[in-house]
Structure 1
């Protein structure tokens, strides 16, 4: 089985392609060409800067080109990552409404682009308490109009401060409380930072078994595959190259070769540093899978 692995790539026009027949500026299809350059066959995008409240601005021509180029060159799927400003757990009415509006626009963009998943962090409860924050998140998600063919994925978190999603129980509770058909995205660096030891084969087995027991592996639709620059349980979220962080080669090898992960798309959010880019990390994943 061909591993589905790719990167979170930019949609910006700069350095998207040297081919004069490719769209040169401002076209979301730049993400497809960039993914090809890295050697990926699936991936993730932001539809706009994740640091500001901004709406996706995609015309039908761009969307059609994105879909046709994806169908022609990639196995898929794509994932849209929501804005970092979205906070579903917030008790603040203004932020809640902005978060719901932002999520709805990302969902609408996913439908327009033929993208099956929109990924989101639960956010921070900022004083509402764990239970209150999870209830806020579920009720916010219930206000969304999610069309057939699009699924919202709740991403696991590193769990610092009042952020929720660091425990598998948080993910399970939101899935149970919400009336929507939701699934999850597991981030390996986040899970490691939150205290799930993925650095050994035994730790990987235990973590995946716990995920299955608490949430259910049938809900696992995407993995953000990242090594970690910080130790297990530190709640520090900083990504490292695959096999070169504190999860390390043994843990990464065990994880990517686990039967539960065999057909789950792996999206890299690894750094570009030390002369290593997404291409190096994608090749690294394929090498580890070939060692099984």
Structure 2
């Protein structure tokens, strides 16, 4: 397991590698453009080369790009759908240029409309973005289930993959907070085993490509996406130990998005996660 954090590329794309290294991260996640703007960042070949060089000299083994939250691939609005396609395609192309493990995507929302129709629309946008890029993977992230968000269940994630053509480049990014919020137990060995069994039956664990590790302010089945610093929420230290030590996650990048320093991730948070993983592995061996 490659434990790391979401970091900022402010000041230059290569700065993300520096910030990840300072945290002791083995994996990093970045936005490839401002999360508050549609306009893609125009990186030069020098920017990309400097990133690749910095990465080659660092301990960062995996890089994820998070598509910006403005995207709604399932939108009924043609303008929003077109902007989502442009931004997603750009993210995939940047991912290819920097050797990213994948682009993580919130698939979108049906708003108050029909979820099935929104899944079909999202599938078309995702398929086109894959067709307009070459080899970077796209990881669909499960959602907490509020409103009409798409991907709140393994069944919906499977439907999105099918609607997008079931490309081998399509995978899953499972978020511990979102799983708990949408009603999946992740805090006990048996509960997590049942959750992953459901995932395997609906989607297949071969599509599991990355993880977000977030504690949750709100309890099981709340359908609310409210992150907490690791060990301080409803999942807690024991639950995070279970999640981090599951053998199905052994080779995956796991990204902490919310830390203890006013929401920012610190080196102490990364160290804590390593300790919780070691603790969880010891508990499993003793069981």
Normalising by structure 2, we get a TM-score of: 0.92
Q: Is the contact made by 2:229 and 2:263 (CA closer than 8 Å) also made in structure 1? A: no
More displaced stretch, 267-276 vs 203-212: 267-276
- 2:152 equivalent to 1:166: yes
Provide the secondary structure at the position in 2 that maps to 1:101: helix
Q: Which residue of 2 aligns with 1:266?
A: 254
Q: Distance between the aligned counterparts of 2:247 and 2:132, measured in 1?
A: 30
Shift of residue 174, structure 1, vs aligned partner = 1.2
**Structural mapping, 1:35-114, within 5 Å:** 35-114=20-99
Q: Which residue of 2 aligns with 1:131?
A: 116
**Structural mapping, 1:117-266, within 5 Å:** 117-144=102-129, 145-179=131-165, 180-181=167-168, 182-266=170-254
Q: Which residue of 2 aligns with 1:12?
A: 10
More displaced stretch, 4-13 vs 282-291: 282-291
Structure 1: stretches of 5+ with no match in the other structure: 14-26
Shift of residue 264, structure 1, vs aligned partner = 1.0
Q: Distance between the aligned counterparts of 2:221 and 2:33, measured in 1?
A: 32
- 2:276 equivalent to 1:278: no
Shift of residue 81, structure 1, vs aligned partner = 0.6
Provide the secondary structure at the position in 2 that maps to 1:203: helix
| 1:66-115 residue CA offsets vs partner (Å, 9 max, x unmatched) | 11111221342111111111001111111111110111111121122222
| 1:194-224 residue CA offsets vs partner (Å, 9 max, x unmatched) | 1112222222121122112211111010000
Q: Is the contact made by 1:268 and 1:278 (CA closer than 8 Å) also made in structure 2? A: no
Q: Distance between the aligned counterparts of 1:159 and 1:146, measured in 2?
A: 30
Aligned positions, number: 277
Q: Is the contact made by 2:6 and 2:30 (CA closer than 8 Å) also made in structure 1? A: yes
Normalising by structure 1, we get a TM-score of: 0.90
Shift of residue 255, structure 1, vs aligned partner = 1.1
Shift of residue 274, structure 1, vs aligned partner = 6.2
Shift of residue 279, structure 1, vs aligned partner = 1.6
Provide the secondary structure at the position in 1 that maps to 2:199: helix
Provide the secondary structure at the position in 1 that maps to 2:57: helix
- Aligned Cα RMSD in Å? 1.6
Structure 2: stretches of 5+ with no match in the other structure: 282-287
Q: Which residue of 1 aligns with 2:277?
A: 289
Extract structure 1 runs of 4+ deviating beyond 6 A.
none
